[in-house]
Amino acid sequence: MKFPPNLDSVDLRILDALQTDAGLSSAELAERVGSSSASCWRRIKNLEAAGILGPAVRLLNHEAIGRKVNVLCNIRVRSHMREVRAAFEAFVRERAEIMECYSMSGEWDYLIRVVAADVEDYERFLMRVLLEHPSVGGASSHFALSLTKYTTRLPIS
């Protein structure tokens, strides 16, 4: 895999370590990657400034907070005009239950991932919110039965 030429092996080890635990102190990170604490701090600031590192967040257990249903939903918009697509994308950004949204090639225009408390909660969202939006022409929902793999960690090797 080719990385930007300005990333060296220490930068790559920092990126890999932070994907596992973004809460590491500079000293802990330095020990893991074989560098000094000050050097790690400077490198992190440079990686942030370059747009390679985004904000540090904590991942929540969706089941523990009552969001037990994961739905993948294909969306067809009513028109492919720029204004219609922009309206749909603005709507998606506003809705907290929509976790991800991808513009797609093929038969469907978008794929969204929605989390809901239960099937009834999803049905309310689908029937009263999503399908009522003027940009949406149709939807096809697929309920996840179980989770085989979920990661936010990108390969760094």
Q: What is the pLDDT of residue 156?
A: 87
| Judgement on whether residues 44 and 73 belong to the same structural domain of the protein | no
Q: What is the pLDDT of residue 16?
A: 95
Q: What is the pLDDT of residue 116?
A: 98
Domain presence at residue 93? yes
Domain presence at residue 62? no
> Residue 93: which domain range?
69-143
| Judgement on whether residues 74 and 43 belong to the same structural domain of the protein | no
- Whole-model pTM: value is 0.87
User: What are the φ and ψ backbone dihedral angles of 127, each rounded to 5 degrees?
Assistant: -80, -35
Domain presence at residue 56? no
CATH label of the domain that carries residue 122: 3.30.70.920
Per residue in 103-127, pLDDT tens?
Answer: 999 999 999 999 999 999 999 999 9
Q: What is the pLDDT of residue 41?
A: 94
What CA–CA distances, in Å, run from 148 to 44, 64, 144, 145, 153? Answer: 32, 18, 10, 10, 15
Domain presence at residue 85? yes
Domain presence at residue 17? yes
**What parts of the chain have a pLDDT lower than 70?**
1-5, 157
Q: What is the pLDDT of residue 6?
A: 83
| Domain count within the chain | 2
User: What are the φ and ψ backbone dihedral angles of 37, each rounded to 5 degrees?
Assistant: -60, -45
| Judgement on whether residues 36 and 94 belong to the same structural domain of the protein | no
